[in-house]
């Protein structure tokens, strides 16, 4: 197994461990992609047909609101998996943007072929369902946060979940994730120093 593929296996196993045999099915499909910091590598309303693993770097999913501002939906750290294809696309068309916040190394696999594996192989299916559930749990947690915590509490939670991020990505991205302005974020940062 190449070093790259081993990385993918590790990401999978951290979510739902699968056998060597099952992984070999996936391995055949793996491709490698890199993007420069700042690049939007999945465009909303454009065709996309892949599942992605983040090997190194950080990226975000986002949308653009009526005022033209980017609203961060989620962050994806290294050694994790992007939102699964099935929930970010309809009819091969992406419903979100994804942007590299640092230089980014991804592995990708064809989503349709992966779906076939999923149907045939229970381990892979369980893995995929776990990804799906984690995604939803994370969305619900965020929803709860936005609906019932103050901005300060949300920042505290954010720091627990994404320790590293605050020092390596623009605060604007974090602020829109938290549902506040970057000025408010700055105030809260000052406030939390004590």
First and final C-alpha spacing in the chain: 49
Q: DSSP assignment of 18-73, as one string?
A: --HHHHHHHHTT-EEEEE-TT-EEE-TTSB--EEEEEEES-EEEEEE-TTS-EEEE
Q: Which is nearer to a second copy, 136 or 183 (CB)?
A: 136
Q: Which is nearer to DNA, 81 or 165 (CB)?
A: 165
The 3-state DSSP class for residue 7 equals: helix
Q: Shortest approach of DNA to residue 185 CB, angstroms? A: 6
Compute the least distance from the CB of residue 122 to DNA, in Å. Answer: 45
Q: Select from DNA, a second copy, none the partner in contact with residue 188, using the beta carbon and a kind-dependent cut-off of 5 to 8 Å.
A: DNA
Cβ burial of 23 (10 Å; 0-12, 13-18, 19+) is: buried
59 binds, among a second copy, DNA, none (CB under 5 to 8 A by kind): none
Contacting residue, 91, 160, 190, 194, with DNA by CB under 7 A: 190
Query: Among residue numbers 146 through 185, which ones bind DNA (CB under 7 A)?
Result: 150-152, 170-172, 179-185
Which one of DNA, a second copy, none is in contact with 90 (Cβ closer than 5 to 8 A by kind)? a second copy
- Residues with Cβ within 8 Å of 133's Cβ and at least 6 positions away in sequence, in order, are none
- Sites of contact with DNA (CB under 7 A): 150-152, 170-172, 179-190
């Amino acid at each position: 197994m190449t070093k790259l593929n081993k990385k993918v296996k590790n990401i999978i196993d951290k979510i739902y461990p699968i056998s060597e045999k099952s992984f070999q099915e996936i391995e055949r499909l793996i491709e490698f992609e890199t993007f420069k910091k700042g690049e939007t590598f999945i465009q909303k309303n454009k065709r996309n047909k892949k599942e992605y693993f983040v090997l190194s770097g950080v990226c975000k999913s986002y949308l653009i609101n009526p005022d033209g501002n980017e609203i961060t939906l989620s962050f994806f750290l290294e050694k994790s998996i992007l939102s699964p294809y099935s929930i970010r696309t309809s009819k091969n068309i992406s419903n979100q943007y994804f942007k590299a916040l640092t230089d980014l190394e991804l592995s990708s696999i064809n989503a349709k072929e992966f779906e076939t594996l999923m149907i045939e192989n229970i381990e892979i299916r369980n893995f995929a369902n776990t990804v799906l559930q984690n995604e939803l749990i994370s969305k619900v947690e965020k929803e709860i946060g936005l609906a019932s915590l103050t901005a300060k509490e949300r920042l505290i939670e954010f720091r627990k979940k994404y320790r590293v991020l605050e020092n390596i990505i623009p605060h604007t991205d974090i602020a829109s994730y938290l549902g506040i302005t970057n000025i408010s974020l700055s105030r809260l940062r000052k406030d939390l120093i004590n």
